[in-house]
Amino acid sequence: MIRPYVLADTNWKHLKDADIQLAVLPWGATEAHNYHLPYSTDVIEGTAIAEASAKIAWEKGAKVIVLPTIPFGVNTGQSDIYLDMNLNPSTQFAILKDILDVLNRQGIQKFMILNSHGGNNWKAIVRELGLLYPTMFLSVVECFKVVDRQKYFDDPGDHADEMETSLMLHLAPALILPKENWGDGAEKKNKIAAFNQGWAWTERPWSKVTADTGIGNPKAATKEKGEHFFKTICEKIGQLFYDVAEADTKNLYA
């Protein structure tokens, strides 16, 4: 079935007279996810969330289009993890600039990144691009910050954890190794307290922090938890897509 809100699905016959209000770009990563999840986990999650959310917005009447997912993200702290792929932030900036050139030239003035990888950090990039494209409305959704994960999972963790394993059990169970292969996601903490308290930051060298590349124990993950979480965040993001598509961005503040 052709989905008119997914660029990879649709066709020129549909698009030649289209008037798209909002373009959404899912951006993931290709990296190890504990022993049991595929390297494509962030790509699968981001794509599924973007497409399901766009369906909700489309059915409400918003003209939304989901662009093909970018499969590589910032993995500068994982340079020694075999085949973890890295795009530097400067490369991400260049990719986004080229995409925005196309959208701006063709009159699509609202653009949103849907981010599904924790290593991607968009604020500085979007601030700079905003100066280059002052007529465009640029925004970012961090898809795993949409709801309080503590309400859905016993041990949400940070990476390849209960939350991500539950989502993948719902979205792509055939790509998950049997449970006896799941690592416990034990994390070593920085000995300097400030870096664990959230008000100071330094990049984590991944192989020194975790033995199995996971952070957070996945053992309590279930397909049912993943499905419930997925539906909840897609409902909220779908409403956001609709709100942004329909908004007068020149009159946003009351």
Three-state secondary-structure class, residue 165: helix
Q: List, for residues 108-140, the tens digit of each pLDDT value.
A: 999 999 999 999 999 999 999 999 999 999 999
The confidence score (pLDDT) of residue 129 equals 98
Please name the residues in contact with 48: beta carbons below 8 A apart, sequence gap of 6 or more: 171, 230
- Supply the pLDDT for residue 195: 96
How far apart, in whole angstroms, are the C-alpha atoms of residue 125 and residue 96?
Answer: 9
Please give the full DSSP string across 89-143, using - where no structure is assigned: HHHHHHHHHHHHHHHHHTT--EEEEEE--TT---HHHHHHHHHH-TTSEEEEEEG
pLDDT tens profile 48-90 = 999 999 999 999 999 999 999 999 999 999 999 999 999 999 9
Mean pLDDT of 150-177: 96
In the predicted structure, residue 2 carries a pLDDT above the cut 90:
yes
Residue 21, pLDDT above cutoff 90: yes
State the CB neighbour count (10 A cutoff) for residue 210. Answer: 23
What's the confidence (pLDDT) of residue 156?
82
Furthest CA-CA distance within the chain: 59
What whole-number distance in Å separates Cα of residue 62 and Cα of residue 54? Answer: 9
Query: What's the predicted TM-score (pTM) here?
Result: 0.97
How confident is the model over 155-175, as a mean pLDDT?
96
**Alpha-carbon gap, residue 61 to 164, rounded angstroms:** 31
Phi, psi at residue 112, to the nearest 5°? -135, 135
- pLDDT given at position 236: 98
Whether the pLDDT of residue 246 is over 90: the answer is yes
Cα–Cα distance, 191 to 132 (Å, whole number):
42
Q: What is the mean pLDDT of the chain?
A: 97
Contacts of 144 (CB under 8 A, 6+ apart): 116, 118, 163, 233
* All structural domains of the chain: 12-246 (3.40.50.10310)
Query: And the tokens for 113?
Result: 């990144």
